[in-house]
Amino acid sequence: MVRVGSIVLRVDDLRRQTDFWAAALDYVPRDEQSDDFVLLRPRDGVGPNLSLDQVHSEVHLPPRIHLDLYTEDQVEEVTRLIALGATEVHWDKRPPDADYVILADPEGNRFCVVDANQ
């Protein structure tokens, strides 16, 4: 049996991305860190880790993989994430009744904020 232990995201600015994702997810860095890799873990211990690997990589559109973040208060979370540095991505194929909002982190990596109530 296997499980997802960590999702690895390639980043250019390790410090900025660490600050963004730690605040976005309420994650904390693991004690051991290096100059080019940070493992963020859930503060409450529930869920997979998010690892940030400082390796230049081009953003591909559409992305081959993205995170879906579930929330009970989508409007509040989207507002909070934008205040942290995310930007909203408008996609002309998004259905009008979609239960998700597409955002991008400060480096353009896309993720969705999904309304868990729908």
65-118, what's its fold? 2,3-Dihydroxybiphenyl 1,2-Dioxygenase; domain 1 (3.10.180)
Distance CA 19, CA 85 (A): 10
Q: What is the pLDDT of residues 60-89, one digit of tens each?
A: 888 889 999 999 999 999 999 999 999 999
**C-alpha count within 13 angstroms, C-beta hemisphere, residue 67:** 24
Helix, strand, coil percent values for the chain (each to nearest 5): 20, 35, 45
Q: Where are the alpha helices (DSSP H) in 26-93?
A: 74-84
pTM of the model: 0.92
Q: What is the CATH number of domain 1-55?
A: 3.30.720.120
- Structural domain spans, the chain: 1-55, 65-118
